[in-house]
Amino acid sequence: MASQKKQSKRLLNDIEDSVNQLVFLTSDLSLLADTNKLALNLKTNIETLNQQLAGLKKAEFNATLAESEILEILDELIDSDPISTLEQRLFAAHADQESGEVGEFFQQLLDKIEKLYSPLLSSIQQLTAMPDKL
């Protein structure tokens, strides 16, 4: 079994990868501006956390992670359910359209975002639970 430090680093990398994909997918799309802003905020927080943890030995790493305010920010994200908000916004925009293709496009786009968001959410949940294991 991997050490908690290794697990945490893997989870941080998974989160960073997912966030980078989400930033790329949502950039320069006006209907996805809120999702892009959320992804950019997450990216900044993960980069900051990685900088705080860089080069720390196991005990210091675990203590710094457990005390990090960024874990609280990530935990709040889990509770905020931004995908439901995005879904409501997309389908409200679709209500103004007559073409079924637009609705199908929005559903496909939402499916892709959810596929990126689900592993991101899972990794965040595992990471925020790490201090409980220390």
Model pLDDT for residues 78-96, shown as the tens digit of each residue: 788 888 888 888 777 777 6
Model pLDDT for residues 10-49, shown as the tens digit of each residue: 999 999 999 999 999 989 888 888 889 999 999 999 999 9
SS (H, E, C) the chain: CCCHHHHHHHHHHHHHHHHHHHHHHHCCCHHHHHHHHHHHHHHHHHHHHHHHHCCCCHHHHHHHHHHCHHHHHHHHHHHHCHHHHHHHHHHHHHHCCCCHHHHHHHHHHHHHHHHHHHHHHHHHHHHHHHHHHC
